[in-house]
Amino acid sequence: MQKDYFKDISEIKDLMNRSSRFISLSGLSGILAGCYALIGAAVAYLYFLPPAINIDYSSTKEIKVNYIILDLILVATFSIVTAIILTMKKAKSNQEKIWDATTQRLLLNFMVPLAAGGVYILIQAYQNHFGLSAALMLIFYGLALVNASKFTIGNVQFLGYAEIILGLICAAFPGYGLYFWALGFGVLHIVYGTLMYRAEKKQ
């Protein structure tokens, strides 16, 4: 009974966390991703999309699909590159390894729903069905976050649930996809990123 069993318990907890969870997501990358999304949405609104009221989903003439896809790819690329750079910086200062089995599992779990959704949306878009693209992006992105949240410390799942709910509401209001998209990918990211950033500062 001399042994300190408290130490055992805390060691178990520490090992379980370190071996199964990725702890280096940076709040700032969320804020920046939100900003890129808002810029992307503004560009699409100004140049590639007709006003919401006039959208006729059966005709493609007014919607420049390829430009919108390019716009989306740019937003995603900037967000991912920012996230990688900031996460690497944070991992370095915390002296954590960034590329290990945990990270790989996190990414795999994140990418599966996201890739399935992305390909589905592209197939639909090339068949001239864009009506639910924004809703589907929000829903699949939310599912990807919820799925990946098991491997991170923090509250990513709540962002995921929020995106899913927003996506479902978006599906109920056809024609307003862009606004919901900007709300989900822009505003929610900024809000979530800010909360995370403040929590990081406190530590």
CB of 203 to other proteins, least distance (A): 22
Q: Closer to other proteins at the Cβ: 79 or 102?
A: 102
In angstroms, give the least distance from the CB of 97 to other proteins: 8
Can you give the binding site for other proteins, defined by CB under 8 A?
1, 3, 5-6, 8-9, 11-12, 15-16, 18-20, 97, 100-101
Cβ contact 40:71 at 8 Å:
yes
Rounded to whole angstroms, how far apart are CA atoms 67 and 53? 20
In 3D, which of 85, 115, 109 has the Cα closest to residue 25?
85
Nearest residue (CB) to other proteins, 16 versus 84: 16
C-beta of 121: minimal distance to other proteins in Å? Answer: 31
Q: How far is the CB of 104 from other proteins (least distance, A)?
A: 11
Tokens at 51, concatenated: 């006003």
Between 97 and 198, CB nearer to other proteins: 97
CA dihedral 144, 148, 152, 154 (to 10 degrees): 40
Phi/psi for 177 (5° steps) reads -50, -45
Q: Give CA 46 to chain center in angstroms.
A: 24
Alpha carbon 172 to chain centroid, angstroms: 22
User: Residue 67's closest CA among 37, 35, 44?
Assistant: 44
Cβ of residue 143: shortest distance to other proteins, in angstroms?
22
Beta strands in the chain (DSSP E): none
Nearer to other proteins, 20 or 60 (CB): 20
Q: Which is nearer to other proteins, 14 or 56 (CB)?
A: 14
Q: Which is nearer to other proteins, 18 or 92 (CB)?
A: 18
- State the nearest-atom distance from the C-beta of 146 to other proteins, in Å: 19
H helix intervals, 96-176: 101-126, 133-148, 156-172
